[in-house]
Amino acid sequence: GAVVSQHPSWVICKSGTSVKIECRSLDFQATTMFWYRQFPKQSLMLMATSNEGSKATYEQGVEKDKFLINHASLTLSTLTVTSAHPEDSSFYICSARDASSYNEQFFGPGTRLTVL
């Protein structure tokens, strides 16, 4: 149980285009989802927290207009990187939490974004 999937697993795009990454909880209802980014050889940095049906809460320094997060259902959250640039190239990982496991997050496999 507690499986989280991400799609796509990797994506290459041209500079200036937008990319959407999906995060799904497959066997539970995710009341909260988190989005992280991980640069090579670095740790995970929390970008934002999204609660189903509410606006996402972004961490300091994360541009909300550039990283659009939607959490329209209890099993799906999306991260859209708008007008992507090479410096946005990174590994993006989502995690999900249900109402009964407040202190545990289940992680997706990650999405590797490369912006040319």
| Interface contacts to another protein, rule CB under 8 A | 4, 6, 32, 34, 42-46, 49, 91, 93, 95, 97, 102-110, 112
Q: Which two tokens stand for residue 14?
A: 């041209």
**How big is the chain, counted in residues?**
116
Residue placing its CB nearer to another protein in the complex, 10 or 72: 10
* Alpha carbon 22 to its chain's center: 7
Buried/exposed code over 22-31 (b: 16+ C-beta within 10 A; e: otherwise)? bbbbeebebb
Q: How far is the CB of 65 from another protein (least distance, A)?
A: 22
**Three-state secondary-structure class, residue 19:** strand
- Evaluate whether 84 touches 115 at the Cβ level (below 8 Å): yes
The nearer residue to another protein, 32 or 75, going by C-beta atoms, is 32
Least distance in angstroms from the C-beta of 16 to another protein: 26
Question: Minimum CB separation from another protein for residue 46, in Å?
Answer: 6
Of the pair 27, 82, the CB lying nearest another protein is at 27
